Amino acid sequence: MKPLTLRIDNKSVISLAKNPISHGRSKHIETKFHFIRELVTNEMIEVQYYPTELQLVDGFTKALKLDRFEFLRKKLGVNFSISSSYELRGSVKI
């Protein structure tokens, strides 16, 4: 089975997830992080660096300036005009 790709914008986290050796500074890390490390070790997921500027999820999780929001909205394929409703790729209208 092909592993799930987890795109992360933090290189330190990627390093910790890929290196199963315990680090002195990582003792405080939460249980969920150790779960991710185990999934990486078992090749169920792979972690990949993905720059912050391209993180599409930011449009759902952060307060953004209008130009950044519009950029992410276009990347997601959501178009909006005053005269029509929202439209997703594939001509599905909301």
If we measure between CA atoms, which residue out of 77, 74, 71, 75 comes closest to residue 89? 77
Band of the pLDDT at 36, cuts 50, 70, 90?
Answer: confident
The Cα 46–Cα 76 span in angstroms is: 23
- Under 8 Å between Cβ of 49 and 11: yes
Question: Quick one: pLDDT at residue 18?
Answer: 80
Q: For the residues 59-69, what does the mean pLDDT come to?
A: 87
Q: What is the pTM of this model?
A: 0.58
Average pLDDT, the chain: 79
- Residue 37 DSSP code: H
Band of the pLDDT at 45, cuts 50, 70, 90?
Answer: very high
- Under 8 Å between Cβ of 22 and 41: no
